[in-house]
């Protein structure tokens, strides 16, 4: 299972396979034990990081008041998790309409639109797409299911537009950071509905 090297031990290939299998089994036992030891009724939900923090999170207090005996677990990830392996009951995921499997339910459509603070508009008008060249663009730079994701690129591609030449570009790894920067007047971000629905 291991090879001795001077004052250290090194796993053989068979040892590494056994280690991985044991690690996965122990993780499954830990997760199951936590679930059993938790509340009698529990609900596990997974969704993207932005939707979890900006849309789902603000709605959880109402749910907790209505259903105080149900424990909640929110798994925020921009990847489509294996819901059986992660012990997830409900998955809220983005999918183009034509790819939604028949056993899933459509919750809402996602809309993308530019947003910024009123103070920024007062200083530099934004009445047309051409006016974006006078503004700093605030973009989300993340990875979704193993692929790079940029909000502005998605929006422009959907409109058949070429890349915009802007006054600058600030990229953030988390959507709520881009929105906070837009509120502070740092530039124009890509708003999402229902993420920004109050």
For 105-155, write each residue's pLDDT tens digit: 888 888 888 999 999 989 988 888 888 889 999 988 877 767 777 888 888
Residue (of 18, 6, 7, 74) closest to 45 by Cα position: 74
pLDDT digits (tens, 9 = 90+) for 46-87: 998 888 888 898 889 999 999 988 888 999 888 888 888 888
**More reliable by pLDDT, 25 or 35:** 25
- Domain range annotation of the chain: 2-99, 111-193
Give the burial class of 180: count Cβ atoms within 10 A of its Cβ; 0-12 exposed, 13-18 middle, 19 or more buried: middle
Element of type H or E holding 10: strand 8-11
Topology agreement, domain 2-99 and domain 111-193: yes
**Per-residue tokens: 154:** 């998605």
**More reliable by pLDDT, 109 or 19:** 109
Mean pLDDT over all residues of the chain?
83
Structural class in CATH, domain 2-99: alpha beta
pLDDT digits (tens, 9 = 90+) for 3-13: 776 766 677 77
Cα separation, 152 vs 195, whole angstroms: 16
**Per-residue tokens: 136:** 């700093």
DSSP label at 162?
A: P
What confidence category does residue 33 fall into, taking pLDDT thresholds of 50, 70 and 90?
low
Q: Give the right CATH number for 111-193 from 1.20.120.10, 3.40.640.10, 3.40.50.150, 3.40.190.10.
A: 3.40.190.10
Is the pLDDT at 39 greater than 60? The verdict is no
How confident is the model at residue 150, as a pLDDT?
81
């Amino acid at each position: 299972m291991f090879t001795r090297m001077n004052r250290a031990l090194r796993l053989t290939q068979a040892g590494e396979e056994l280690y991985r299998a044991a690690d996965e089994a122990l993780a499954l036992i830990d997760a199951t034990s936590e679930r059993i030891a938790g509340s009698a009724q529990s609900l596990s939900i997974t969704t993207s990081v932005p939707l979890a923090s900006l849309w789902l999170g603000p709605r959880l207090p109402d749910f907790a008041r209505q259903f105080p005996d149900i424990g909640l677990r929110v798994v925020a990830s921009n990847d489509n998790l294996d819901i059986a392996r992660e012990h997830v009951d409900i998955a809220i995921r983005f999918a183009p309409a034509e790819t939604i499997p028949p056993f899933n339910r459509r919750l809402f459509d996602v809309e993308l639109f530019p947003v910024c603070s009123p103070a920024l508009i007062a200083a530099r008008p934004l009445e047309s797409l051409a006016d974006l060249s006078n503004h700093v663009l605030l973009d989300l730079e993340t990875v979704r299911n193993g692929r790079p994701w940029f909000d502005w690129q998605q929006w422009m591609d959907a409109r058949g537009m070429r890349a915009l030449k802007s006054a600058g570009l600030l990229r953030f790894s988390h959507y709520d950071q881009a929105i906070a920067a837009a509120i502070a007047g740092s530039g124009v971000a890509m708003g999402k509905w229902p993420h920004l629905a109050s």
